[in-house]
Amino acid sequence: MNLVNIAWKSIRQRSLASSLTALSVALGVALMVTVLVINSVVTKMFSQSMTGYDLVVGAKGSAMQLVLNTIYFLDKPIENLPYSYYQKIRNNSGVSHAIPFCLGDTTQDGRFRIVGTIPEYFDIEYMPKHKFQFQPGGGIMKDPFDAVIGARVARSNGWSVGSQFSIAHGGNLEDVHAEKFTVKGILAPTGTPNDGGVFIHLDGFYMIPGHEKPLDEVRERDKAFGLEIAEETPSRERRTFQGPDGKVYKELPDSQKEVTAILVRVKFMTFAPMLQASIKKGPLAQAANPIAEIGKLLRNIVGNIRTVLVVMTALIIVVSGVSIFVSIYNSMSDRRREIAIMRALGASRTTVFSIIIAESILLCVGGGILGFLIGHTLVFIASPVVEARSEILLNPWAFELDELIILPALIVLATIVGLVPGLTAYRTDVARGLAE
């Protein structure tokens, strides 16, 4: 009979105490596995690969706020930029794509962000090597009062292609616009904040009363920043459009249009820092590198939280190791006769010592394997709940490389906590043990 079999029989003799000890290890490992998997998903969501844009241009203020508001639909818009500024960026020879975003409104229930943008947004990769796909039966928006919605919006509201909805001005649920938009397309799930976005045609956004900037405020702004003073566009030069309600809507003059942010892709990566510096020098706007800003977020906030959680779970596992030590050490007084008999039958001190160490390792490793199963089961159970309440898609079968460290660490821990009980067994007096 080898050492592992002997150690296993000894564990079975103390099944209740051994089970509880292994369970304490399993719970600690399960918590650590859950933390590692969820942290990995969140990190990937806020990583550089989650956006296909080189710069985000917006009003001067917090660069982090600009990125969180524009890319992740978090926080509040800073301020708006003149539509002419968007046209200037779009016409820059070094820019391949410039996508305007108008933010601030929400759906009528206040749960989802309204994003006024152009159809070109859906032709561009939302992250490297990933393009938007539409669910069957829908497509891109074409007319001013068309809309495209994310998968989570469709699921939460029960909307389908053809559904109509109103929007709340500035997120004020008491101020709901009378105009209705029609869902023309539903995006396939992306696992990004786009799943919670309601994208309406920019032309329709500008036709909604209250979305225009008063001409006197436009002139004050242009004068303050040294821009060309805007003049009112004659009515005959403005296009009209008949809405789904039969009402005729008139196009808003460009001078009274504003954008909240501009998503920029450049033709050459070396041009991005030059454009960013050029925009920064001006009085109106800033250009934030989303990769750099999210990197700061991950290092300063998410990374610290992950470290705290990992340290806490590591301490739980260490406490579980201590419980293994206590369990085995307390059993030594009851096992003196057993050890003495083994020694009398020819077992060496080293053999007895190794059996105790093997017991400790079996308890730790057994609890660790159970912990892996519990941890991934928890992620499996939590994944649909997390997906339903946020834009985060959890893969219950995801395996992180950091998990590979846990089992070796448990073996080291088991060896350490088994040393004292093992030495006690090593020093057991055979004659005294048989006499007892």
Instruction: Please give the pLDDT value at position 77.
Output: 86
- Condensed to tens digits (0 to 9), the pLDDT of residues 279-309 reads 999 889 999 998 888 778 777 766 677 777 7
The answer to whether residues 426 and 342 touch, using CB atoms and an 8 Å cutoff, is no
**How far apart (Å, rounded) are the C-alpha atoms in residues 118 and 116?**
7
* Domain range summary for the chain, segments of one domain joined by +: 3-46+298-435, 49-295
pLDDT of 316 > 70? The answer is: yes
The answer to whether residues 44 and 266 touch, using CB atoms and an 8 Å cutoff, is no
- Condensed to tens digits (0 to 9), the pLDDT of residues 102-131 reads 999 999 988 899 999 999 999 999 888 889
- Condensed to tens digits (0 to 9), the pLDDT of residues 204-256 reads 999 988 888 888 888 887 777 766 655 555 554 677 888 877 888 888 888 88
The whole model's pTM is what? 0.73
pLDDT of 48 > 50? The answer is: no
- Condensed to tens digits (0 to 9), the pLDDT of residues 73-103 reads 887 888 899 999 999 999 999 999 999 999 9
Nearest to 33 by CA among 415, 298, 405: 405
